Amino acid sequence: MYLESDRRPGLTPQLAMRIAVLSAIALVGFAAIFFRLWYLQVLSGDRYLAEANNNRIREIRVQAPRGEILDRNGRVLVANRPSLALEVTPDKLPPAGPRRRQVFKRLGRILRVSPRRLERSVERQFKAMPFAAATLRQDVPLPVVAYVLEHQDRLPGVTVERVFLRSYPYREIGAHLFGTVGEVTAEQLKQDRYRGVQMGDRVGQSGIEYEYDRFLRGRNGANRVQVDALGRFKGELSVRRPLQGRNLRLSIDFDVQRAGQQALASGTGRGAFVVMDVRTGEVVALGSQPSFDPNIFAKVVRASDYRRLTDPLNGAPLLNRTIQSGYPTGSTFKVVTATAALETGLITPATVIYDPGSITIGGLTFKNAGGKAHGAVDVRRALTVSSDVFFYRLGADLNARGTALQKWAHLLGLGRRTGIDLPGEWEGLVPSPAWRNRLFRKRLTDRPWTVGDNVNLAVGQGDLRADPVQLAVAYATIANGGRVVVPRIGLRVEDAAGRPIQDLQAPPARTVRISPTTRQAILDGLRGATSAPGGTATPVFQGFPIPVAGKTGTAQKGAGRPDQSWFVALAPWPDIRYVVVVTDEAGGFGAETAAPMARRILAALFDVRGDRARRGGAPD
């Protein structure tokens, strides 16, 4: 039943308003959809077309070989060697199922590895880098290569590829200098220094390989391949070849380096040495014993090897004792005490102290090595014969003047990082009243600071902890007249043809004010130690054609442990150019072990042929 038009209810204002609002909303919605479609198809069409194409294109990374490392004379110390690697390509490997399992079963027999272990390794690599080949094994023997190539029909997807591995031809020689390489870690990828590096890339992990990784690391290449919508390989589109990293020339002289390591190996097997230019800070040689073969790290290092190389009972071969050790330095520290006493005005070069063989300070009696009495000695003679009593007395008197001894130790480079271009350097420790008293308040030691602590420090004993590089810097500062050089190993970056690209400049040296009178008195005493009657190392350097100044040191470590042997040499005298520091952790008297080692190193440094190092000298 219909109502007549004149009887139908009229459109109320409220209903009209609702219809108008709904119509406006619908119009705005349709307009937004229209403009969005127009934007996607007209304005952004090219971009989305490119993204669609990218979904069909994949890049397979080809890692670049690293740059070579050369010594100062151009001898190659670290290179790359070609290697044959057994790989599995994802596009040719049978799909998951019986055929794939059969391939891994055959590979397991060839490589003598569990097939399931091989399959898990491949799956893990495919997951990390789809479309890239998975490596089964590097350095594959030629018989295995021949077998794989002859049985390609039974090993679909298995290929032999030529790759480059890091090569250290001199093995243990220079291992702590060069360092190691390894696969970049997830934590490292978050750091700015690894920008552009991808998971799976191998980067420097220690030593020079780490310090100058940005130069040594090359630019990876890439093979662009096409895949279908299901990700299946369809063909290769282009190849971008990798670029090898830059070469790095070091200040190291390989002949001196080899001589130093051979000298260390002739001792007790644990120690370190460094050879440095006192004027520039250039490191000519640097080594630690026991050493290791860095070729172990060129491939994936085994857990058992890593445990062996870090085991303290095995000498912790990975520890770089030149910059990461903390030793009492024995009598080699006496040059620091002499400098502090002379520069603070406590003594003059002519001040004489009587040495009866022992001295009592604070109720304790301190004796010379062997109880020998040296009689009346000044600072020159005290350094020559290594009079402990003379320096015990200075230590006690300096303690009454505050922390002058600690101040000069820090000024000369002890108790602080030297800035050498190697990672992992330790700052060491110069004990002070504030340091010990702080430990005492925290109940971390049984007593506060006493005068005996300063007496022990004055002869390089007690809580002092320093390493050979720090000691080299301290002696170089005295030898060059007050410039605290920064030790440097990297000289310059070069291209493959040996053309310089960038010189590697050391930070500017600090300057310490040391009076010429102080310097000469100390150097005279050191010269006497290797040449004057009664000098602690005079017998060792008798007949050596190069004039040498030096200081022996014997550090007592207590707890039944053997004494540590030290020697620091400055040569040639009097126009000193090099400092040589040698230590053997269980070598006994400095003149017995470390000094003969230093003579062998100096013979290589100055090309003295047929020289035979001598042992013997006075205890210190």
How high is the pLDDT of residue 190?
87
DSSP secondary structure of 454-511: HHHHHTT-TT-BB-HHHHHHHHHHHHHTSEEPPPB-EEEEE-TT--EEEE-PPPPPEE
User: DSSP letter at 576?
Assistant: -
Q: How confident is the model at residue 270 (pLDDT cuts 50, 70, 90)?
A: very high
**pLDDT per residue over 598-615, tens digit each?**
999 999 999 998 887 666
Helix, strand, coil percentages for the chain (3-state, nearest 5): 40, 20, 40
- Gap between the Cα atoms of 561 and 573, Å rounded: 35
Could you tell me the two tokens for 84? Answer: 């044959």
- The residue type of 102 is Q
- Compute, in degrees rounded to 10, the torsion defined by CA atoms 260, 262, 267, 271: 50
Could you tell me the two tokens for 586? Answer: 């269980």
Q: How confident is the model at residue 543 (pLDDT cuts 50, 70, 90)?
A: very high
- Asked whether the predicted pLDDT for residue 153 surpasses 90, the reply is no
> What is the mean predicted confidence (pLDDT) over 187-208?
86
> What is the mean predicted confidence (pLDDT) over 244-270?
95
> What is the mean predicted confidence (pLDDT) over 479-487?
97
Could you tell me the two tokens for 574? Answer: 């009097």
> What is the mean predicted confidence (pLDDT) over 369-378?
92
How high is the pLDDT of residue 57?
64
> What is the mean predicted confidence (pLDDT) over 489-505?
92
Q: How many CB atoms lie within 10 A of CB 603?
A: 21
- The residue type of 76 is V
